[in-house]
Amino acid sequence: MLHSAGPGRDPLAIEAQAVRWAGDAIEYVDQRLLPHETVVRRATTAEELEDAIKTLAVRGAPCIGVFGAYGVAMLRAQISDDKKFEAAVARVREARPTAVNLRWAIERVLKSKDMLVEAQAIHNEQREIDRRIAEAAAELIEPRAAIYTHCHTGALATAGTGTALGTILFAARAGKKPRVFVGETRPLLQGGRLTYYELTQAGVDATLVVDSAAAISMQRKEIDLVIVGADRIARNGDTANKIGTYALAIIAAHHRIPFYVAAPRSTFDFTLESGRDIPIEERSAEEVATFGETRVASKGANAYNPAFDVTPNHLITAFVTEYGILRPPYGESIADLQLRPNMSALLSTS
């Protein structure tokens, strides 16, 4: 542990560095402890990198990608034996199977001549990607719009400025005064702990909603749009995101509310035909059987605890990317996205 900030101490300067290269280690904000305590930890081994990802101390698909990229560069500097290095990288790569950004970033770093330079480039590109996503979404958010969002997609989730939540904060800074309804996101409460906190710190009108109240919120609170992030998107537009997203999309469709997904090009897995091919991580029953540190079910209770679900493409109104808004038919618009250059190519020519 490098730093701890208790309640009442402004932690935003630390949170702006969700993940950073520290020479001999990767430093990261432990997201499990927010909003009550801000703790920056150090990962120096493959085991510590893997543990940080598996335990959700580091989470959010783009952030995991940045973290994994720096981690591989660090491991290469530590491990000269190729077989041992490959084994260490495999541990990190497989730490979370659903989020495609982790594998994408690691493979990109492995192919580079200078791994650290490439990892730093991925991090810098993510900041630019987030900015462009927010700008692209501006036309979708009207002044004083009521927005429903789920899980957490802010700075801590991307190591930049955020995807879905970044678009909301961008609208707020532009003077649009959005009203945001935040799904708590059981079982680990990323919405309640992280999104609500980030919005209130920014002075945005935010209301916390238990997940089971999403339907009545859309029915009675005049929600104008739903916007969420993504962990993996197949080339037909089927989208894996935090568990509960599929249900929200169904509810939004019933109430004829636009349902948007904000995600970078790196989250699109062009190798997968549809959502049927997306692996879904299943986590410990203990996460469901407890609420925080309090047990709410009998010891040894059985629980089904998928970390993600897949929203079918026909429930998604549009995708917001760094290249603009993608609309149906997704077989065509996502195919066009695949032909776009990586952000690295764009930044190198700008």
Q: Which residues are catalytic?
A: 231
CA within 13 Å, CB half, 11: 24
Six-digit token string for 37? 């305590």
Q: How far apart are CA 171 and CA 98, in angstroms?
A: 30
Helix (H, G, I), strand (E, B) or coil at 221: coil
Question: Cα–Cα–Cα angle for 31, 229, 324, nearest 5°?
Answer: 135
Q: Which residues partner with 179 through β-bridges?
A: 146, 205
DSSP letter string over 242-302?
ETTHHHHHHHHHHTT--EEEE--GGGEETT-SSGGGS---B--THHHHEETTEE-S-TT--
Q: Rg (Cα) of the chain, in Å, rounded? A: 19
d(CA 79, CA 61): 26
Q: 225 has which bridge partners?
A: 147
